[in-house]
Amino acid sequence: MQVINSIEEMKQERKKLACTVGFVPTMGYLHRGHLTLVRRAKRDNDVAVVSIFVNPTQFGPGEDFATYPRDTERDLEMLEKEGVDFVFMPTPDDMYPDGYNTWVETFGITSKLEGEKRPGHFKGVTTIVNKLFNIVLPHKAYFGQKDAQQLRVIQKMVADLDMHVKIMPVATVRSRRGLAMSSRNNYLSKEEREAALVLYKALSTAEEMYMRGEQDVARIRVKITGIINQEPLAKIDYISIADADTLEELTYMDRSALISMAVRIGNTRLIDNRTIG
Protein backbone atom coordinates (compact mmCIF):
# COMPACT_ATOMS: atom_id res chain seq x y z
CA MET A 1 0.00 0.00 0.00
CA GLN A 2 1.36 3.35 -1.08
CA VAL A 3 0.55 6.46 0.96
CA ILE A 4 0.67 9.65 -1.10
CA ASN A 5 0.56 13.15 0.35
CA SER A 6 0.93 15.38 -2.71
CA ILE A 7 -1.48 16.03 -5.57
CA GLU A 8 1.34 16.01 -8.10
CA GLU A 9 2.59 12.60 -6.96
CA MET A 10 -0.93 11.15 -7.05
CA LYS A 11 -1.39 12.43 -10.61
CA GLN A 12 1.93 10.91 -11.65
CA GLU A 13 1.04 7.54 -10.12
CA ARG A 14 -2.37 7.67 -11.79
CA LYS A 15 -0.79 8.23 -15.19
CA LYS A 16 1.13 4.97 -14.82
CA LEU A 17 -2.05 2.93 -14.30
CA ALA A 18 -3.48 1.38 -17.46
CA CYS A 19 -6.06 -0.67 -15.54
CA THR A 20 -9.44 0.06 -13.92
CA VAL A 21 -9.38 2.29 -10.85
CA GLY A 22 -11.96 2.24 -8.04
CA PHE A 23 -12.07 5.20 -5.66
CA VAL A 24 -13.46 5.79 -2.17
CA PRO A 25 -13.24 9.40 -0.98
CA THR A 26 -13.42 9.66 2.83
CA MET A 27 -12.80 12.10 5.66
CA GLY A 28 -11.07 9.35 7.62
CA TYR A 29 -11.89 7.93 11.06
CA LEU A 30 -13.00 4.88 9.18
CA HIS A 31 -15.79 2.55 10.25
CA ARG A 32 -17.49 -0.54 8.81
CA GLY A 33 -19.44 1.63 6.38
CA HIS A 34 -16.23 2.86 4.75
CA LEU A 35 -14.79 -0.65 4.69
CA THR A 36 -17.84 -1.87 2.80
CA LEU A 37 -17.18 0.81 0.16
CA VAL A 38 -13.51 -0.19 0.03
CA ARG A 39 -14.34 -3.89 -0.46
CA ARG A 40 -16.68 -3.01 -3.31
CA ALA A 41 -13.98 -0.86 -4.90
CA LYS A 42 -11.48 -3.72 -4.56
CA ARG A 43 -13.90 -6.28 -5.94
CA ASP A 44 -14.97 -4.25 -9.00
CA ASN A 45 -11.61 -2.77 -10.08
CA ASP A 46 -7.96 -3.68 -10.64
CA VAL A 47 -6.72 -0.96 -8.29
CA ALA A 48 -8.37 0.66 -5.26
CA VAL A 49 -7.60 4.24 -4.20
CA VAL A 50 -8.89 5.67 -0.91
CA SER A 51 -8.56 9.34 -0.03
CA ILE A 52 -8.54 10.70 3.51
CA PHE A 53 -9.14 14.43 3.72
CA VAL A 54 -11.22 16.36 6.23
CA ASN A 55 -12.41 19.00 3.80
CA PRO A 56 -12.62 22.39 5.53
CA THR A 57 -14.82 23.99 2.86
CA GLN A 58 -17.79 21.72 3.50
CA PHE A 59 -18.01 22.71 7.17
CA GLY A 60 -19.92 25.88 8.04
CA PRO A 61 -18.96 28.36 10.77
CA GLY A 62 -19.85 26.83 14.13
CA GLU A 63 -19.77 23.29 12.72
CA ASP A 64 -17.42 20.55 13.91
CA PHE A 65 -14.43 20.92 11.54
CA ALA A 66 -11.92 21.42 14.39
CA THR A 67 -13.23 18.54 16.49
CA TYR A 68 -14.02 16.12 13.65
CA PRO A 69 -12.43 12.82 14.77
CA ARG A 70 -9.07 11.95 13.22
CA ASP A 71 -6.86 8.86 13.64
CA THR A 72 -4.65 8.39 10.62
CA GLU A 73 -2.58 5.56 12.06
CA ARG A 74 -5.64 3.46 12.77
CA ASP A 75 -7.15 4.33 9.35
CA LEU A 76 -4.00 3.24 7.52
CA GLU A 77 -3.87 -0.07 9.41
CA MET A 78 -7.46 -0.79 8.43
CA LEU A 79 -6.86 0.07 4.76
CA GLU A 80 -3.67 -1.98 4.65
CA LYS A 81 -5.62 -5.01 5.88
CA GLU A 82 -8.19 -4.47 3.12
CA GLY A 83 -5.47 -4.59 0.48
CA VAL A 84 -5.93 -1.00 -0.68
CA ASP A 85 -3.34 0.03 -3.31
CA PHE A 86 -3.13 3.79 -2.78
CA VAL A 87 -4.10 6.05 0.09
CA PHE A 88 -4.22 9.68 -0.95
CA MET A 89 -3.89 12.07 2.01
CA PRO A 90 -3.32 15.60 0.68
CA THR A 91 -2.73 18.57 2.96
CA PRO A 92 -5.25 21.44 3.13
CA ASP A 93 -2.55 23.78 1.75
CA ASP A 94 -2.08 21.54 -1.26
CA MET A 95 -5.81 21.30 -1.93
CA TYR A 96 -6.56 24.97 -1.23
CA PRO A 97 -3.36 26.96 -1.79
CA ASP A 98 -3.22 30.73 -1.22
CA GLY A 99 -5.36 32.45 -3.84
CA TYR A 100 -7.50 29.37 -4.46
CA ASN A 101 -10.59 30.73 -6.22
CA THR A 102 -12.57 28.14 -8.23
CA TRP A 103 -15.82 26.54 -7.10
CA VAL A 104 -18.03 23.87 -8.58
CA GLU A 105 -21.64 24.31 -7.57
CA THR A 106 -24.76 22.30 -8.31
CA PHE A 107 -27.95 24.27 -7.76
CA GLY A 108 -31.57 23.17 -7.33
CA ILE A 109 -31.26 19.90 -5.49
CA THR A 110 -28.77 21.49 -3.04
CA SER A 111 -31.25 24.10 -1.80
CA LYS A 112 -33.21 21.61 0.30
CA LEU A 113 -32.59 19.46 3.42
CA GLU A 114 -28.87 19.41 4.28
CA GLY A 115 -28.20 22.22 1.82
CA GLU A 116 -30.82 24.42 3.43
CA LYS A 117 -29.66 23.65 6.97
CA ARG A 118 -25.95 23.85 6.13
CA PRO A 119 -25.49 26.75 3.66
CA GLY A 120 -22.37 26.30 1.54
CA HIS A 121 -21.97 22.65 2.58
CA PHE A 122 -22.64 21.15 -0.85
CA LYS A 123 -20.56 23.78 -2.63
CA GLY A 124 -17.64 22.48 -0.55
CA VAL A 125 -18.60 18.88 -1.30
CA THR A 126 -18.96 19.27 -5.07
CA THR A 127 -15.73 21.26 -5.30
CA ILE A 128 -13.62 18.77 -3.32
CA VAL A 129 -15.13 15.73 -5.02
CA ASN A 130 -14.58 17.33 -8.43
CA LYS A 131 -10.94 17.97 -7.54
CA LEU A 132 -10.46 14.44 -6.21
CA PHE A 133 -12.04 12.93 -9.34
CA ASN A 134 -9.73 15.06 -11.50
CA ILE A 135 -6.67 13.92 -9.57
CA VAL A 136 -7.56 10.21 -9.24
CA LEU A 137 -9.52 9.85 -12.53
CA PRO A 138 -11.39 6.81 -11.22
CA HIS A 139 -13.54 4.56 -13.38
CA LYS A 140 -15.90 4.01 -10.47
CA ALA A 141 -16.36 5.92 -7.21
CA TYR A 142 -18.23 4.57 -4.19
CA PHE A 143 -20.56 6.54 -1.90
CA GLY A 144 -22.73 5.43 1.00
CA GLN A 145 -26.49 5.86 0.81
CA LYS A 146 -26.49 7.22 4.36
CA ASP A 147 -25.66 10.59 2.81
CA ALA A 148 -28.60 10.29 0.43
CA GLN A 149 -28.69 13.90 -0.72
CA GLN A 150 -24.91 14.07 -1.13
CA LEU A 151 -25.10 10.99 -3.36
CA ARG A 152 -27.72 12.67 -5.57
CA VAL A 153 -25.78 15.93 -5.69
CA ILE A 154 -22.61 14.14 -6.80
CA GLN A 155 -24.51 12.11 -9.39
CA LYS A 156 -25.98 15.37 -10.71
CA MET A 157 -22.57 17.11 -10.82
CA VAL A 158 -20.99 14.17 -12.63
CA ALA A 159 -23.83 14.05 -15.17
CA ASP A 160 -23.93 17.83 -15.72
CA LEU A 161 -20.14 18.13 -16.13
CA ASP A 162 -19.85 14.97 -18.27
CA MET A 163 -17.27 13.40 -16.00
CA HIS A 164 -16.16 9.89 -17.04
CA VAL A 165 -16.51 8.38 -13.53
CA LYS A 166 -19.39 6.04 -12.65
CA ILE A 167 -20.98 6.71 -9.25
CA MET A 168 -21.68 3.53 -7.28
CA PRO A 169 -24.19 3.87 -4.41
CA VAL A 170 -23.67 1.43 -1.52
CA ALA A 171 -26.27 0.54 1.13
CA THR A 172 -25.94 2.08 4.59
CA VAL A 173 -24.14 -0.15 7.10
CA ARG A 174 -25.75 -0.25 10.56
CA SER A 175 -25.04 -1.50 14.05
CA ARG A 176 -26.90 -4.65 15.05
CA ARG A 177 -29.61 -2.49 16.61
CA GLY A 178 -29.92 -0.18 13.58
CA LEU A 179 -27.69 2.86 14.19
CA ALA A 180 -26.25 4.02 10.85
CA MET A 181 -22.44 3.96 10.84
CA SER A 182 -20.97 7.47 11.01
CA SER A 183 -17.67 8.92 12.18
CA ARG A 184 -19.78 11.34 14.22
CA ASN A 185 -21.15 8.44 16.32
CA ASN A 186 -17.80 8.79 18.06
CA TYR A 187 -19.14 11.98 19.72
CA LEU A 188 -21.96 10.06 21.45
CA SER A 189 -21.95 9.07 25.12
CA LYS A 190 -23.26 5.62 25.95
CA GLU A 191 -26.63 7.12 26.88
CA GLU A 192 -26.76 9.19 23.68
CA ARG A 193 -25.87 6.17 21.58
CA GLU A 194 -28.93 4.45 23.00
CA ALA A 195 -31.05 7.53 22.32
CA ALA A 196 -29.73 7.69 18.72
CA LEU A 197 -31.57 4.45 17.93
CA VAL A 198 -34.70 6.60 17.67
CA LEU A 199 -33.77 7.56 14.08
CA TYR A 200 -33.85 3.94 12.97
CA LYS A 201 -37.03 3.35 14.93
CA ALA A 202 -38.75 6.31 13.25
CA LEU A 203 -37.68 5.22 9.75
CA SER A 204 -38.78 1.64 10.39
CA THR A 205 -42.15 2.81 11.69
CA ALA A 206 -42.65 4.95 8.57
CA GLU A 207 -41.93 1.96 6.36
CA GLU A 208 -44.29 -0.27 8.36
CA MET A 209 -47.10 2.29 8.05
CA TYR A 210 -46.53 2.44 4.29
CA MET A 211 -46.46 -1.35 4.05
CA ARG A 212 -49.78 -1.50 5.88
CA GLY A 213 -51.26 0.83 3.24
CA GLU A 214 -50.76 4.31 4.71
CA GLN A 215 -50.10 6.80 1.91
CA ASP A 216 -50.90 10.07 3.65
CA VAL A 217 -47.61 11.83 4.26
CA ALA A 218 -49.02 14.07 7.04
CA ARG A 219 -50.05 11.06 9.10
CA ILE A 220 -46.70 9.35 8.68
CA ARG A 221 -44.96 12.58 9.60
CA VAL A 222 -47.00 13.06 12.77
CA LYS A 223 -46.26 9.51 13.83
CA ILE A 224 -42.49 9.61 13.37
CA THR A 225 -42.22 13.13 14.77
CA GLY A 226 -43.92 11.81 17.88
CA ILE A 227 -41.50 8.88 18.14
CA ILE A 228 -38.48 11.16 18.04
CA ASN A 229 -39.96 13.74 20.39
CA GLN A 230 -40.56 10.98 22.96
CA GLU A 231 -36.78 10.68 23.26
CA PRO A 232 -35.66 13.42 25.71
CA LEU A 233 -32.10 13.64 24.27
CA ALA A 234 -33.33 14.06 20.67
CA LYS A 235 -34.13 17.35 18.94
CA ILE A 236 -35.44 17.30 15.36
CA ASP A 237 -33.58 19.47 12.83
CA TYR A 238 -35.79 18.33 9.94
CA ILE A 239 -37.89 15.40 8.81
CA SER A 240 -38.47 15.15 5.08
CA ILE A 241 -40.70 12.84 3.06
CA ALA A 242 -39.81 13.69 -0.51
CA ASP A 243 -39.81 12.46 -4.09
CA ALA A 244 -36.78 10.13 -4.17
CA ASP A 245 -35.44 11.73 -7.37
CA THR A 246 -36.22 15.44 -7.14
CA LEU A 247 -36.33 15.72 -3.31
CA GLU A 248 -39.53 17.76 -3.63
CA GLU A 249 -41.68 17.26 -0.54
CA LEU A 250 -44.65 14.91 -1.04
CA THR A 251 -48.16 15.07 0.37
CA TYR A 252 -49.10 11.61 -0.86
CA MET A 253 -46.90 8.49 -1.16
CA ASP A 254 -47.73 7.86 -4.83
CA ARG A 255 -44.12 7.36 -5.96
CA SER A 256 -40.74 6.29 -4.63
CA ALA A 257 -40.08 8.41 -1.53
CA LEU A 258 -36.94 9.31 0.37
CA ILE A 259 -37.67 9.69 4.06
CA SER A 260 -34.73 11.55 5.53
CA MET A 261 -33.99 13.31 8.77
CA ALA A 262 -31.44 15.22 10.75
CA VAL A 263 -31.73 14.91 14.51
CA ARG A 264 -29.55 16.31 17.25
CA ILE A 265 -28.71 13.82 19.96
CA GLY A 266 -27.21 16.03 22.66
CA ASN A 267 -24.70 18.16 20.72
CA THR A 268 -24.27 15.66 17.89
CA ARG A 269 -26.16 16.12 14.65
CA LEU A 270 -26.99 12.77 13.02
CA ILE A 271 -28.64 12.07 9.67
CA ASP A 272 -30.33 8.94 8.39
CA ASN A 273 -32.78 7.97 5.66
CA ARG A 274 -34.69 5.22 3.95
CA THR A 275 -36.13 4.91 0.46
CA ILE A 276 -39.67 3.58 0.40
CA GLY A 277 -41.84 2.42 -2.49
Catalytic positions, written as ranges: 34
Instruction: Tell me the pairing of strands 21-26 and 47-52.
Output: parallel
- Rank residues 18 and 66 by Cβ distance to its own copies and give the closer one: 18
**Nearest-approach distance from CB 141 to its own copies, in angstroms:** 14
- Give the CA dihedral 81, 86, 91, 97, nearest 10 degrees: -160
Among 24, 157, 224, 239, binds its own copies (CB under 8 A): 157
Name residues contacting its own copies, limited to 82-101 (CB under 8 A).
99-101
Name residues contacting its own copies, limited to 34-93 (CB under 8 A).
none
Among 32, 72, 74, 107, binds its own copies (CB under 8 A): 107
Q: What is the per-residue binding string for its own copies in 122-141, x denoting contact by CB under 8 A?
A: ----x---xx--xx-x----
- Rank residues 17 and 236 by Cβ distance to its own copies and give the closer one: 17
Name residues contacting its own copies, limited to 12-31 (CB under 8 A).
15, 18
Among 106, 172, 240, 260, binds its own copies (CB under 8 A): 106
Instruction: Tell me the pairing of strands 86-88 and 140-144.
Output: unpaired
**CB distance 227 to 246 below 8 Å:** no
CA distances from 149 to 116, 211, 237, 261 (A): 12, 24, 15, 11
* Exposure string over 30-55, b if 16+ CB within 10 A, otherwise e: bbebbbbbbbbbbeebebbbbbbbbb
Among 4, 38, 76, 109, binds its own copies (CB under 8 A): 109
Edge-first strand order for the sheet with 234-243 is: 234-243, 257-265, 268-276
Residues that bind its own copies (CB under 8 A): 7, 11, 15, 18, 99-109, 126, 130-131, 134-135, 137, 156-157, 160-164
